[in-house]
Chain A
Amino acid sequence: DIQMTQSPSSLSASVGDRVTITCRASQSISRNLNWYQQRPGKAPKLLIYAASDLQSGVPPSFSGSGSGTEFTLTISSLQPEDFATYSCQQSYSTPITFGQGTRLDIK
């Protein structure tokens, strides 16, 4: 199985801050990497697919980059509704695997 490791596991930031979350794969997954946002008690929401493509309806403050084994999710200016948990997911091979999640809290 391909292991996905996110860092940091948790992060405190303020409204207006720029934040970056990193996801590393245990082997190369090309650009088969997706990012999800999950608010408490809610289903995951797709933000970014294929490493850098913004899902329809997602604010342009979100961006993704990377290929191979290292990927990043960047939020350019945090809004109150952005405080949530973010997870990466590889879709290069089955079993599909997710990172453990990064919890983003208000400082």
Chain B
Amino acid sequence: QVQLQESGPGLVKPSGTLSLTCVVSGASISSSNWWSWVRQPPGRGLEWIGEIYHSGNTNYNPSLKSRVTISIDQSNNQFSLKVTSVTAADTAVYYCALCSGGACYFWGQGTLVTVSS
């Protein structure tokens, strides 16, 4: 059974850096899938942040591209998200997901990150 689990600080100060990790079990991060991050501000819809392939190839949402880095750690079967210069608008539930052919088949439970001083 494929499982993804997000972890990281639940509170980040404005202008700081949001850092999250997604640990994958039941599937190899080296498999032919895209590993994605999606976020959902409170009471709003889903927003795609970006994705990474096991080769390290990445795609980012242009609306966030200048502030986002997604990386992969094959030795620990996990991938990570960094968002710099955060503001209150970055407050959201952040999900990691395993996607193939564009559809996201497995999701983490999500983690709420609040940007506040």
Q: Which residues of A contact B (CB under 8 A)?
A: 1, 32, 34, 36, 42-46, 49-50, 55, 87, 89, 91-92, 94-101
Contact = CB atoms under 8 A, between A and B. Distances in A.
Interface of B: 36, 38, 45-48, 51, 59-63, 95, 99, 101-105, 107-110
Contacts of B61: 94-95
Given A87-B45, A89-B46, A101-B45, A96 B102 contact: yes
B59 A46 contact: no
Given A34-B102, A50-B101, A43 B48 contact: no
B101 A96 contact: no
Instruction: State the main secondary structure of chain A at its contact with B.
Output: loop
Contacts of B38: 44
Going nearest first, the 7 A-B pairs with the smallest beta carbon separation are A91-B102, A49-B103, A43-B107, A96-B48, A95-B61, A98-B46, A34-B103
Nearest to A56: B105
A45 B103 CA distance: 10
Contacts of A95: 48, 59-63
Given A36-B46, A92-B102, 17 more contacts: A1-B62, A42-B110, A43-B108, A44-B95, A44-B104, A49-B101, A49-B103, A50-B101, A55-B105, A89-B102, A96-B36, A96-B48, A97-B48, A98-B45, A98-B47, A99-B45, A101-B46
Given A98-B45, A98-B47, A101-B45, A43 B101 contact: no
